[in-house]
Structure 1
């Protein structure tokens, strides 16, 4: 029972941490797009789509999925440098 309580506590405390991480990743994407956008218009469109999807997931409270999508956008940006 004790292990279950600890697992529940960790889960409850990790959700706000993930929620706060999403805006930071969105800001990183925005900064990278502003300073050095990808030259390929298809990559730019995909990054913008992923960033918007990540923001919607964040607003819906699905922070773990939002971070996956935002990480995908960041990876695309870094690969296009």
Structure 2
């Protein structure tokens, strides 16, 4: 019985770990695209703001919000 409970808890923790590892990859994508992106000053500032916000959310443990912010930045970058 105890084994089943431990297994169930382990499986529930896996998605959180997967999300946590995805955020740095998304930040790297944004950083790489930002170097060569042809954006207006306003859009570039917005992307940088979203990138910083995504990193703060990741560090705070809010990975869903981090993914959303970084996803919005990627959309502005066209990736």
The interval holding the TM-score normalised by the smaller chain is 0.7 to 0.9
Q: Runs of 4 or more off by more than 2 Å in structure 1?
A: 8-11
Q: Gapped runs of 5+ residues in structure 2?
A: none
CA distance in 1, matches of 2:59, 2:12: 19
Tell me whether 1:45 sits opposite 2:56 in the alignment.
no
Question: Secondary structure, in 3 states, of the residue corresponding to 1:61?
Answer: coil
In structure 2, the residue matched to 1:71 is 71
Pick the structure with greater CA Rg: 2
Match of 1:25 in 2: 26
What is the TM-score normalised by the length of structure 1? 0.81
Gaps of 5+ in 1: none
- Kept after mapping to 1: 8 A contact 2:37/2:77: no
Q: How does the TM-score come out when normalised to structure 2? A: 0.83
